[in-house]
A and B are shown apart, each in its own frame.
Chain A
Amino acid sequence: MNKITRRQALGASVGALSAIGLIGAAAHVANAATPAASIPGGTVNEVYQGRRIQITPATGGGHHGGHHGAGLPTVLIDGRELHVMRNADGTWISVVNHYETFADPASLARAAVRELQGATLAPFAPMSMSMPMGGAA
């Protein structure tokens, strides 16, 4: 335990996600006009209940073998990133539905759209990791 600090861990994962996000944004310019398209390899670009869902699969390069599960897809709803996680059994959860598992990122993103009822996702910028719970008051 404690091989890396939580700050390092969070920094690393956020960095990785941003990198994937940039790739995703560029890749989707070409087919942005397509109303709904599910491309082999897990890329999704569709309008669901009036919201645009874009999913870019993990590139897979670099982090081989998924020991750290670094290969997370980027899921965007109307251009804002939905934080997602993969479970050990291969199912998925998102920050919006965090206690309910989904079979794949697309069903997870659609569930988030239903839950949002038109609301905008908040950014999940790295939060202060010092977290003065208690104490400071």
Chain B
Amino acid sequence: MTVRKNQAKLTPDEKRAFTNALLELKRTGVYDRFVTAHNTFLMTDSDFGDRVGHRSPSFLPWHRRFLLEFEAELQKVDAKVSLPYWDWTVDRTASSSLWAADFLGGTGRVRDGQVLDGPFAYAAGKWAISGGVDRRPYLRRALGTAVAELPTKAEVNAVLAMPVYDTAPWNSSSDGFRNHLEGWRGANIHNRVHVWVGGQMASAASPNDPVFWMHHAFIDMLWAEWQHRHPKSTYLPGAGTADVVDLKDTMRPWNNVTPADMLDHRKFYTFDTEAAPAGAGGKR
């Protein structure tokens, strides 16, 4: 059974295994397929029409499935690897070990935003950006520049306290847990982290930065935490909603998975903060 760990607690060997698996997926072209898929959904999910990956109730189950798919690819390279999560309420500065040269590398230089250290620096030769929204081939970041502060634990807790999963009109103007977590409304949680990192992470081609996966693994964990706090609340809407993925509708691009299938993460993985479920070891 896969255990997703806090990135701050990874051993040097675990960090190396994770970054090596990322570089291998990049080399084989698998990585860029995920970038393209995400970019496509970001550009076509619309408040006024069909929406699946973003600005809609299925933001959370869509990304859970997207990360599962990606994690499975990592595990084909190295079966010991799982997706770490980045708790940015705790590791909230550019001097966090996350951004050290033995892991993701640091912020970009002022002149052009280029990341100069770590395994994903352009000069290291293994991380050329091809699926970006512009022609620059190098990974860029501007940590803490466009917005000064990452979300705080208090801000996250206020969102986790919201008992209703999502509300009509099921888009970026909705009230409820999902849209406050996504960040189109209120204190701005998920969106703000993309903006704080800057560079490709702030664009529609955000998975070009490996931190994308760790950010979304933590968002995914917050969904699990919300479920734990609100055991009587569930995914909404239930059925018959135009342009939106209802509980038992299938989600593109897979077309064989529904939000209902994604509600219990323990079918697929656990977090290092929770006990392994009884009878773990099946499924994957």
A residues with CB within 8 A of B: 1-4, 6, 9-10, 13, 66-70, 83, 85-89, 95-101, 115-117, 119-122, 124, 127-134, 137
Contact = CB atoms under 8 A, between A and B. Distances in A.
Nearest to A1: B249
A127 B244 contact: no
A137 B72 CA distance: 11
A102 to B, nearest CB: 12
A121 B40 contact: no
B44 A121 contact: no
Contact of A1 (B132, B194, B245): B245
A89 B172 contact: yes
Given A69-B49, A130-B253, A117 B44 contact: no
A137 B75 CA distance: 12
Interface in B90-129: 112-113
Given A117-B113, A122-B135, A131-B36, A87 B44 contact: no
Q: Which 5 A-B pairs have the closest CB atoms?
A: A69-B48, A88-B173, A99-B194, A99-B191, A88-B47
Nearest to B184: A87
A101 B242 CA distance: 25
A130 to B, nearest CB: 7
B153 interface: no
B134 interface: yes
A68 B47 CA distance: 8
A4 B183 CA distance: 28
A98 B253 CA distance: 21
Contacts of B49: 9, 68-69
Contact of A134 (B46, B73, B172, B195): B73
A134 B256 CA distance: 14
Given A100-B191, A121-B133, A88 B169 contact: yes
Given A1-B241, A116-B134, A137-B30, A83 B43 contact: yes
24 contacts: A6-B44, A9-B50, A83-B204, A88-B47, A88-B169, A88-B172, A88-B173, A95-B133, A95-B204, A96-B203, A97-B202, A99-B192, A99-B206, A100-B191, A115-B203, A116-B134, A120-B135, A121-B135, A122-B134, A124-B43, A131-B40, A133-B37, A133-B254, A134-B73
A137 B37 CA distance: 15
B235 interface: no
B42 interface: yes
B179 to A, nearest CB: 10
B173 A89 contact: yes
Contacts of B135: 119-122
Contact of B47 (A1, A86, A98): A86
Among B44, B55, B243, B244, the most chain A Cβ lie within 10 Å of the Cβ of B44
Contact of B39 (A66, A115, A119, A127): A127
Contacts of A85: 43, 46
B37 A131 contact: yes
Contact of A122 (B43, B44, B132): B132
Given A100-B195, A124-B43, A124-B133, 20 more contacts: A10-B40, A10-B44, A66-B48, A68-B46, A68-B49, A89-B172, A95-B133, A96-B202, A98-B204, A99-B190, A101-B184, A119-B135, A120-B135, A121-B135, A127-B36, A127-B40, A131-B33, A131-B36, A133-B69, A133-B70
Contact of A133 (B34, B183, B204): B34
A121 B134 contact: yes
A134 to B, nearest CB: 4
Interface string B195-223: 10000001111100000000000000000
B246 interface: yes
Interface string B3-42: 0000000000000000000000000101001101101101
